Structure 1
């Protein structure tokens, strides 16, 4: 009988070795001592510089009689960085000294004290470093000291920026305004530990983005300086919400224009955060280039803590924007709140008319409408003046003597390029004087059926910058109900839209020559503009899947989509948006007729012929907070199907219902519809969740960000 497979030469899976009777071979027994390590708290010296911190790790030990190689891993927690584990970059040894040990670094002569590079580990702010020691000796387990353990190593590497209100300049003295507002001058006061002196510092200040979204680069202000440079204080000034840098004279600002500071959501406060980056300057380039290929420059050593809060101010709001028609003068007035009193906003104003033509309401710019109307009226008067069947009237001669196409265009010229600048948060302007028209034309204009006049306001662009939507600089109450008496109607490209898509905002009222009329309203939701297409796909798919069911089923389908996004389960992990989930994970309604009708209704509700337009609006109201991840996860639902639809199409129960193991599902209808266990509920849907959801976690926001970055780089490559 041959020796067993557990003979010397391999790692035995068990401690038992069976030898045949009469075996006369050689048996080698390999034994490893059971090492016992008990780390103790060590007094730590102060860091010498960013690349040399001689930390100490040691304690009591048993069965360690000579240096043993080990693997050292740092476990880092701090107030300025995400929790992480980092392997020590150099080889390490367990070095005994009687019944105590130390962890030392291996070098050419043997070993030396541990050295930590603050830059290599990315340490910044305050926190603690735990560690994990794993002896490289068979049969011995690792020992961990977590950051929460008193034996871990504390670090304090201050890198903060304080934001304080600038003292009023000579131009602002006498201002009674107190506190910080959009437009207030702010002094940045860096507070760094001495070790960071000489590093290149960069700070990006931007509005705090909604969870899951990246900061708006177009609304980011960047400043750079060298840590420890006392002359930098003059340059480290920021005007809240503005792309401004300090000018040469005290109190002056360059590039002094407002940025997009707020999202489309209505919030009482506007928060800003800052992203700090500290970089070791690159070594100076050699004066003379050496022959041959040059070695690539070493990557810059960099510290980049997590974004931190900068300050919070009241969000500016549009509080008044009305149009009036008094004594023939068409005028507007408006007011903001929340801006510094010295903020001057340049605003573009465009008057529009809403009129009826062949039982259809149409919208046109007031100037275009009046020109067309008056030219038609002129043609009619010319025709009447040449009508020999009746006697000419005096007004006909007067009209022909004082009115021509050129005269009409000249009188309408004031309606072109109307602008106004706000002062101390208020603005007003007379747009047009109807008395400039002949009396007969004014009387004719008053008789036009259903004519309503309103005004649209948009912020003026600055230089090459694009127009910034009103909601991005000043919040406003969007009109929701048809008969609502407050709020403003969002507007874009000649149509009333959601303020998600709006570039301008209408006056809170419209006027006719006889006075005020019914207010306008917007039926659309509040969703970030860059997610418009994804939201349309999301809503239209839910309409196609469940428009005939109850709001509970609408929400169930919506949560099913969102609960799959970025989940580490089959193809779902590669789907980083609701649209990708819909397009790749089996939603039958996508691109079907009802889906296409819903898309058209979402984009232009006033012109949609869809039978269930009211249900589309109701679905939008239900699923918008789900899309914006503000409504939980509804029992973590991930699957659903319609038994009636399955039966109608000749199919059987879907296979996913019977999947087992870690993929096992449980029906949660009783939880969603508040029915007794086993009862399906009022709708023709069955909803399912994972029995073991912990097996299929969601990707973190950082993982999703990295996945999107890798996808972008792959496309560009």
Structure 2
């Protein structure tokens, strides 16, 4: 039928006009126009996660029977943004007088928490579309009066771990004000879940808030898993801010390494987000079917059926906490009494942080008229010494032993002396660190003379986090920001990488903002202590450790007195001393017990590695070496009034108290020996100690000429006699 000029358009309503003489067939399709007005309903209490009978209804007009409809849920929660989820089962509009209800085909309307992904506190809106020609859908938005509220709390709180508190009764508001949340603080996770979620598995991912448009950094993400409502879960829910650390055993924190904390721009704070996922426990795997019977060749069992999928619910990322960004506050190098020192400090790290850092010294070397280059300090020293050996000879006069020592201690030995430069490490404790890199006094004499000739030895130091195998390298500026990266910043710590200053984007560490000049210090070391040749080093170790065991806690004067006592007894015409041709024999055979004292072990450890030795007597050991080495090498100016005996009054009293049968007096027997004879002693304590009040008394022979030392020829004859006797 063609539409006439006066015929209404198809979409219009009203009378339909036909031309005169029309003899066609007219079919009229009519449907009731439903008037559906949603109203708030009395909602049943949510009792389980699977079947929540909800009420969707209101008033209606022209609804004469059950009408199929399409139901879509509009879900909004504090755990995620609004989403739309279609109802999975067939639904109908069911009239009840002037009211209606939305019901399922086989019963009341039910929803599943997992089907809709309900987490947190929110409401269910809905959209109902009658499947009846000519009727329009209606929609109730979440939060409107007719929507369905739900309260399934699922959130995580973050508070400082109670184990760190000095007093466990401190309330939260004091905790927040007294102890700040900083990178390195141990955080107690405080889950807040609806009881309906008990028994579900929770998975929590914590990570630095990414830049807009970027995904979270997987290398900086901490994952924590536990069972909701399990009584043993709360003590394990610990996280260390900015670290890849979670609770392990009863008192163990695993993966104690900093993560890539923070974005690429410089900022005053670091923020973290968390992502929460809840899931049902995976169903038990079905038992495998029995093996087929029959043919012998068919031995391969059929593949097991696939496991049913695990039901999960995901929340959107939420803000966890915001903390101040750690910053490198100070980092400098300095010279203190010939010692090259490095110091530094951070702010906004928790006191519990122990951060391993690698420090290395470099020198700035003049190049051309105005330029300069950077070299590793140990490489530069080696090059100077090697060139010196090839181009120059030593002009100093040496004894035979000294000359041998100089020639044995070749410049290649600097590989040992400076080996620690390769792996110098410091630990950040309570926000600060300090380390002695090198003591110039340890250098042999000819090394010092070579360095003295090198003008303008400008030394700086660099620092970076100590690398750990299997851990992603963290850019230093991301771990501890520094002023040089600030907008319009003119001071700070230059970015450093591979022996050169670079953009901070390519840096793995930073350099000190100052340098020190070694020239003046080196010039004062032209006459350092002599070198002990390799063949005497074992004996020298015994010599030093004995003095340390006997007198490390006393004054320098006592150190000299004990050292001279040992050396003045060697090959002396007095009882068994005459047979002791070396300091080793004197120590082992004439009554010295210090080499067995615990302090002697401290001395031996220091001699092997001064930087790694005990801190207890580190400074004293450096001074002791400078005093006793010339005595051992027989280069001291005097022999300390030819001292040959000493004892400790307090130690003697203790021995007598412990064993009175063996020790009859508080004064050793040697003090009063041979009165009037050639072995008679004279006390010289005041001469040895001066004004010091140490617990020692020193003695020499009243007639030393009657107890002289063997001559060189006599010593050689004694040695030859020993060889012949063997």
Q: TM-score, length-normalised on structure 1?
A: 0.63
Deviations 1:38-96 (A, max 9, x none): 11011111223212111111111112212212211112221111211222122221122
Q: Does 1:374 align with 2:375?
A: no
The CA distance in 1 between the partners of 2:10 and 2:477, in whole Å, is 70
Query: 1:345 is paired with a residue of what secondary structure?
Result: strand
SS of the residue 2:389 aligns to:
helix
Q: What's the CA shift for 1:354?
A: 2.8
In the TM superposition, residue 284 of structure 1 has moved relative to its aligned partner by 0.9
Q: Is the 8 A contact 1:355 1:449 kept in 2?
A: no
Change over 3 Å in CA distance of 1:171–1:94 after alignment to 2: closer
Matches within 5 A, 1:135-146: 135-146=130-141
Q: Is the 8 A contact 1:182 1:339 kept in 2?
A: yes
Contact persistence 2:285–2:307 (CA under 8 A):
no
Alignment of 1:152-231 (within 5 A): 152-168=147-163, 178-231=179-232
Distance of 1:136 and 1:479 partners within structure 2: 64
Contact 1:262–1:474 at 8 Å: present in 2 too? no
* 8 Å contact from structure 2 (residues 384, 450) kept in 1: no
Match of 2:431 in 1: 425
Whether the aligned pair in 2 keeps the contact of 1:127 and 1:155 (CA below 8 Å) is yes
SS in 1 for 2:232: helix
* Counterpart residue number, 1:235: 236
2:476 pairs with 1:478: no
Q: Does 1:4 align with 2:8?
A: no
> Which of residues 504, 507, 514 in structure 1 aligns to 2:512?
507
Q: What is the CA deviation profile of residues 287-317 of structure 1, one whole-angstrom value per residue up to 9, with x for unaligned ones?
A: 3435756443232111111122223333322
Note closer, same or farther for the CA distance 1:482–1:253 as it changes in structure 2 (3 Å cut): closer
1:272 corresponds to 2:272: yes
Aligned residue for 1:313?
323
1:88 maps to which residue? Answer: 87
Question: Residues 249 and 74 of structure 1: is their aligned pair in 2 closer, same or farther, counting only changes over 3 Å?
Answer: closer
Deviation at residue 27 of structure 1 after TM alignment = 0.6
| Alpha-carbon contact 2:288-2:304 (below 8 Å) kept | no
Counterparts of 2:69 and 2:45, CA distance in 1? 25
Rg larger for:
2
**What is the match of residue 105 of structure 1?**
104
Which of the residues 292, 300, 304 maps onto 2:314?
A: 304
Query: Could you list the runs of 5+ residues in structure 1 that have no partner in the other structure?
Result: 386-391, 517-717
- Residue deviations 1:593-616 (CA, integer Å, cap 9, x gap): xxxxxxxxxxxxxxxxxxxxxxxx
- What is the deviation of 1:428? 0.7
* Counterpart in the other structure of 1:149: 144
Structure 1 partner of 2:71: 72
Q: Any idea what the Cα deviations from partners look like across 1:574-601, whole Å, max 9, x if unmatched?
A: xxxxxxxxxxxxxxxxxxxxxxxxxxxx
Secondary structure of 1:83 counterpart: strand
What is the correspondence of 1:273-352 to structure 2 with a 5 Å cutoff?
273-289=273-289, 294-352=304-362
Q: Distance in 1 between matches of 2:219 and 2:423?
A: 26
Deviations, residues 13-58 of structure 1 (Å, cap 9, x unaligned): 5557664532222210112322211110111112232121111111
Contact 2:54–2:109 under 8 Å retained in 1: yes
Q: Does 1:494 align with 2:499?
A: yes
- 1:366, distance to aligned residue in structure 2 (A): 1.5
SS at match of 1:375: helix
8 Å CA contact 2:236–2:248 kept in 1: the answer is no
* RMSD over aligned Cα atoms: 3.3
Contact persistence 2:382–2:412 (CA under 8 A):
no
Cα distance in 1 for partners of 2:259, 2:189 equals 19
Offset, 1:435:
3.4
Return the alpha-carbon distance in structure 2 between the equivalents of residues 190 and 483 of structure 1.
43
Query: Secondary structure in 1 aligned to 2:322?
Result: strand
Q: How does 1:359-370 map to 2 (within 5 A)?
A: 360-370=371-381
Matched, 1:467 2:476: no
Separation of aligned partners in 2, 1:377 and 1:168: 60
Aligned mates of 2:206, 2:365 — CA distance in 1:
46
CA gap of 1:370–1:58, structure 2 versus 1, over 3 A, is: same
CA–CA separation in structure 1 for the residues paired with 2:354 and 2:68: 69
- Post-superposition Cα deviations, 1:141-179, rounded to whole Å, max 9, x if no partner, equal 221111132221111100122222223369999x99723
Corresponding pairs, count: 496
